Structure 1
Amino acid sequence: MTIKYFSLACSFLKTLTECFSNGTMTALAVKVESAPGLNPGQLTLSDPACGPTYSDDRFAYFHFTVNSCGTTRKFINNVMLYENEISLPDELEVKLNATTSSEEEYQLKVSCSYVANITRTLAFLTRPRDNEPFAETGTGRLMVRMRLAQDASYNTFHQEEDYPVVRYLRQPLHFEVELTTSSDPKVALVLDHCWATLNEDRDSRPRWNLIINGCENPEDPYRVVFHPVEADARVRFPPHVKRFEAYMFSFAGDAVEQSGQVFVHCDVVICDASSPTGGPCSGQCVNQDNLKRGQRHVKDFFEERHVYVSSGYILWV
């Protein structure tokens, strides 16, 4: 008897193809002994651009949707059949056969079938919650940066390599202080104190106050100006950003020689914008009595949320 057609079935420990109700398919292409020179990572679906999601020297794993990667669809009675094929791209297969003594070919057909007209009944059961969900308290770092804008538009800023920045006396300086690592819309940044010194030491003397308790210094003949912040392509959360304008000045006095440089420092507070509870978190410049006395009325609750930032040094000419 001459057998013209026959088939051989192999059992694998893993499922080679899985079909999911959301229209996705997974396929596992296993390396076989008939193709010892095969690199599973080079296998693709019908579309050569669709390679494996993961592969090693033993198998390649594919994950794709039924409307991608060259998958075909046909109807057989009331069933939709999706089919694809895993193989080597033509140029790699030619190269592999040229380096081996016998022709090696790898083809794995994968298919998924879905009933076209069928109604499924879904049911779910609800029950009252014993407790409302809550978020556990966590810890982390809040990063704040202070930058000097090139002009009043606050679109471009001086970089670290630009310092020292040179300004004329009485020329405006446009500062922006930003909370950079938070995406919480309930968090707000408030400028508590800002001042200028002759050097990088924030506690050095002499010192000139620009902002006191969130307000401009009333003794400054050229008071700072607070600029509103609107949401745009760069600023996602306006409460995370504060902008103010100061005027370039020099330190001068009987006991202090005139200097050609200043540093600007700020003491900022991170607040809960949804429930301000006094102190600096009441808002930017809302308590003029605190301003006149020059005293700080900050609860211990907020002391833990103070952040200090400084600018690079600015030369005046």
Structure 2
Amino acid sequence: QGHPRGLVCGQRSLQFMLPPGQPGAGSLALTAWDTAGRLHVLQNDSSCGVWVSWAADGSRTVGASYSGCYVSEWDGGYLMVVGIEGMAAGEEKVLRCSRSLPALDAPSPAVCATIQSQDRLPCASPPIAQGDCEEQGCCYNPSDRVKPCYYGNTVTAQCTPDGQFSLAVSRAVTLPPLILDSVRLASEHGAGCVPVAQNNAFVLFRFPLSACGTTFQMAGNQGVYENELVADRDVRTWSLGSITRDSTFRLHVRCSYSISGNVLPLSVQVFTLPPPPAVSQPGPLVLELHIATEQSYGSYYTDRDYPVVKVLRDPIYVEVRILQRTDPDLVLVLHHCWATPSTNPQQQPQWPILVDGCPYTGDNYRTQLVPVGAASGLQFPSHHQRFIVSTFTFMESASQQALTGPVYLHCSASVCQPSRLEPCTLSCPAVARGRRSSEQHLQDGLSHVTSQGPVLLLQARLKREVFPEL
């Protein structure tokens, strides 16, 4: 006696598959004993809760409801005996399923409706009942005959009765979207610890509890297994600091199993990173550096709006302007702009945004200079400089951990009066080294300006916290 390959025990039914080339696949008839001990041919029969389907490769999939004609309650679970025409007596298949398997919450319609048909990753093979699909935490669409049961646009974690972790991750669980090729198990890179499936929208890991760096501990009469998924990040480094624009993703998963009697899963928990706390501390200003709320620079964040909360790679519309000057001949010149984690412009780490008035060439998301001319509608366009920077988060150089907290923007600037020898304009990417000496500054040296408040960067904001209890 033995279990056929591919036995799946659901909440309301079981399902098994006979692969091609196995006895019972093809034209041989399957039989089953009903609860009264009578033998029947196993075929599609809704009144008895049975469905049978054939695949092009010759395999056969059978599903049977626990409340149907051919499944009996036995020893705290469910039992079904399947025979195959032509097999010797006593060699029938005995299928056993536990009665008390954990169930996940059915996903919300919003989690399911946003997934395009071509991006659906199957959660279970058809045929499968809607209740069984949703109790695995998956989406169900009866009109999709190929993939009616598929993973939702979130994190779906499962602990299987045969001792496996199953972790499906959508690229949409973080902002900006997760780079799926970068997702891996935190402690193991072995051949059996790589994704078993991936498409444009999802990545799926499935591995035994005893493998891939899983830790184990006893908690009363439960065995607790834990593992983590992380995502690698593209880190950009220069002499004074490091940044990244990739999401910081760390997913901690815990499966609890009973250690008394049959070893069965009791619960699964998923822990995600919380968003960073809000911190605000305005810095001193000489000129004014402020941030526009949108690309047209029609409105700006006020003091009460800080800290400005942004997601990685979001654009920040920055403007530096001269205050309390009405001379139309004055030209504001930006020399260097950079970011630090505090109002102190000298603090490290730092990241350059503009170098000699031009976008820093070592950045993979190059800062964009925004021309300010007569069409801007400003009274003194030359008193303003604008640029757009993509948000990032600082990294700790030694551990390569993302630093939480605010990011402040700083610029060093001077005011120039155009002359025959000095047009007060910069040419990117090359800047003449001797140009600054001819500028007529309103004050000694360069003026420094700091943003009115910090930009708070959400490094890996999950669209919803996921704490499913089974």
- TM-score of the two chains, using structure 2 as the length reference: 0.33
Which structure's CA Rg is the greater one? 1
